[in-house]
Amino acid sequence: MEIFYTHKAYKQLENLPLSVQKRIAQKMRFYANQNDPLKFAKRLTDYYEGEFRFRIGVHRLTFDVKRNVIYILSVKTRDKSYN
């Protein structure tokens, strides 16, 4: 699968420390190389911002999947993700 970051998600990722950015990028490459990356994701009950989420440390990446592309919609810490 391919990974695409929306402008908003890219800006949120860019504002994080470099070590966290690397950790998220590495984990996303791992997920994208899996046969079924959704087995590592959780389906969200409120589709306000994405249908699924990945948990990477204290960060939550909300995303949608369309035609073998993971569209990352936001990168937030847990306390800001579920407001």
Q: In this structure, which CATH number among 3.30.2310.20, 3.40.50.800, 3.30.470.30, 3.40.50.150 belongs to the domain 2-81?
A: 3.30.2310.20
Angstrom distance (rounded) from CA 53 to CA 46: 11
**Quick one: how many helices (H) and strands (E) in the chain?**
3, 5
pLDDT score, position 64: 93
Q: What is the tens place of the pLDDT at every residue in 23-81?
A: 999 999 999 999 999 999 999 887 777 899 999 999 999 999 999 999 999 999 877 76
In this structure, the number of other CB atoms found within 10 A of the CB of residue 56 comes to 18
Parallel, antiparallel or unpaired: strands 69-77 and 2-5: parallel
The token pair that represents 20 in the structure block: 């966290």
pLDDT score, position 69: 93
Among 74, 65, 61, 71, smallest CA distance to 10 is for 74
